[in-house]
A and B are shown apart, each in its own frame.
Chain A
Amino acid sequence: MLKRPHFIALSIVLLLVLVLLSLPTQTATQLKLALSSLFLPLFGLAGSYQTLTEQAGNTIVPRRALLTEIEQLKRDNERLRLDAMQSAQVWNENAQLRQALGWQQQAAWKLKAARVVLREPANWWRGLQIDVGQRDGIHTNLAVLTQEGLAGKISQVGYARSQVVLLGDPNCQVSVLVEDGANKGVDGLIASSSSSVLDPTIVDLTFIESQKGVKAGLKVTTSGLGGVFPRGIPIGQVIDFTSVSYGLFSKARVKLAADLRHLEHVWVMLP
């Protein structure tokens, strides 16, 4: 039979777990962030270790390689300046046309660079933590980008760190547009993909109208519907598609543009 200490220990654990699980979301998030501050010394140590290894790596890079890289960066910089100049002209022209047509003006993206400090330790979520938070003007539901495209959105914000929920996580659904050059495009919803648990670069595109043609290779971008993500952020390419719900809808698999397995730096899109 169960002895008394067993009952007490079991009761304490059960009671505490039930109390924690029944906390309001806001309180639980605050408590989570407060508890995660216990890891600050390890964050500091890990950051210092990373800096030291980078410095050690820099000292052994040959001068010739550095000079070659500088030359390459100079050329890239010049090309990007020209591109930026051309973009500025197009931007101005676009703004004038929008004004003439009475359309709403588009705002330029304001981006904040962030470093990935932790990854999701559980296998059943897809997420990571970045080193920017409330002090940097971050709040929930901001889009998180890589240079290839959308990566996810901010789900929880602490003072100096934020939790990002990545594309493919059940809590990150994105309204998208499959860009078909000839037509207006096909609407759909990016959702988690249970068929590709082991490959985080593939997600499901659901709720596509069957009559509209979706082909492999078409580009997928955010549609702007839902109000969380602005329109036009690249997401990936359609790999294949199937008909579901007795032909009422189609479902496609999308290969993400951003490689979510090896993210080290991301950009948070500020409002």
Chain B
Amino acid sequence: MNYLNLIAVIVVAYLAVFAQARQTLLRDLFGAQVDLLPSLMVYCALNAGWGVLAGIALLGGLWFDTLSANPLGITSLPLFTVAFIVHWHQDLILREQRYAQFVLGCFASALAPFLTVLLLFGAGDKPLIGWGSLWQWFVMTVIGGVFCPFFFWLFNRLNRDFAYQHLPESTFRSDREVKRGRF
């Protein structure tokens, strides 16, 4: 991951956290607020190293917790766990395929809130959980899955348009050129 991509990911994480707290359209439509950070972590897990993963997980989690009633820092660990699992199996993942990106987004968006709620219970908090939470979980999973290919498209597009592209090396060498004569 180059610097441009890294900055873009941080900016998108920052905007995504604020948008989740500001916009109520999806909440009004589906009765659940979506979380875009797990899908973003999938992109990072397949394109960045461990340092970047830890940094983005900490930053995104802290930002989310500052605008939420969650205890500070509790979201970072699930985000990093999701990224850890995906990064660990990155050699087996067809990262260019849209359906693979969707499935990974669904997996991350389902696992991260589940782990967060587990941690909250473990920390002695009593989050509001009921049968309706299953529907909210489903909505978070599917919409998170939809956003994952979008993030791949967005960051690849940014990279293609603004980052320096290496010229493909030609195999042509003038000293090895066979010049044919008339016969």
A168–B31 alpha-carbon span in the complex (Å): 15
Instruction: Decide: B54 and A121 in contact? CB cutoff 8 A.
Output: no
Number of A-B contacts (CB under 8 A): 153
A261–B80 alpha-carbon span in the complex (Å): 32
Instruction: Decide: A46 and B22 in contact? CB cutoff 8 A.
Output: yes
Instruction: Give the chain A neighbours of B31 by CB distance below 8 A.
Output: 198
Q: Does A12 contact B (CB under 8 A)?
A: yes
* Residues 45-64 of chain A, each 1 if its beta carbon lies under 8 Å from chain B, else 0: 01000000000000000000
Given contacts A17-B73, A118-B21, contact A192 B67 (CB under 8 A): no
* Residues 173-208 of chain A, each 1 if its beta carbon lies under 8 Å from chain B, else 0: 000000000000000000011111111000000000
Chain B CB within 10 Å, residue with most, of A17, A121, A125? A121
Q: Does A8 contact B (CB under 8 A)?
A: yes
Instruction: Decide: A121 and B67 in contact? CB cutoff 8 A.
Output: yes
Chain A CB within 10 Å, residue with most, of B117, B128, B129? B128
Instruction: Decide: B130 and A16 in contact? CB cutoff 8 A.
Output: no
Instruction: Decide: B33 and A121 in contact? CB cutoff 8 A.
Output: yes
Q: Does A228 contact B (CB under 8 A)?
A: no
* Size band of the interface chain B makes with A: 35 or more
Given contacts A16-B73, A129-B67, contact A198 B132 (CB under 8 A): yes
Given contacts A35-B66, A123-B33, A125-B69, contact A9 B54 (CB under 8 A): yes
A120–B67 alpha-carbon span in the complex (Å): 7
Q: Interface size on A (CB < 8 Å)?
A: 51
Q: Does A14 contact B (CB under 8 A)?
A: yes
Instruction: Decide: A197 and B62 in contact? CB cutoff 8 A.
Output: no
Instruction: Decide: B127 and A198 in contact? CB cutoff 8 A.
Output: no
A46–B24 alpha-carbon span in the complex (Å): 14
Instruction: Give the chain A neighbours of B99 by CB distance below 8 A.
Output: none
* Residues 26-65 of chain B, each 1 if its beta carbon lies under 8 Å from chain A, else 0: 0110011101000000000000011101100110001111
Of B89-97, B133-141, B149-157, B166-174, the one with at least 4 CB within 8 A of chain A: B133-141
Instruction: Give the chain B neighbours of A192 by CB distance below 8 A.
Output: 126, 128
Instruction: Decide: A198 and B135 in contact? CB cutoff 8 A.
Output: yes
Instruction: Decide: A198 and B128 in contact? CB cutoff 8 A.
Output: no
Q: Does A10 contact B (CB under 8 A)?
A: yes
Instruction: Give the chain A neighbours of B17 by CB distance below 8 A.
Output: 121
Given contacts A17-B77, A35-B62, A39-B18, contact A120 B130 (CB under 8 A): no
Given contacts A124-B133, A169-B128, contact A119 B24 (CB under 8 A): yes
Instruction: Give the chain B neighbours of A10 by CB distance below 8 A.
Output: 80, 84
Instruction: Decide: B22 and A5 in contact? CB cutoff 8 A.
Output: no
Please name the residue on chain B nearest to A43 by beta carbon: B18
Q: Does B159 contact A (CB under 8 A)?
A: no
Q: Does A100 contact B (CB under 8 A)?
A: no
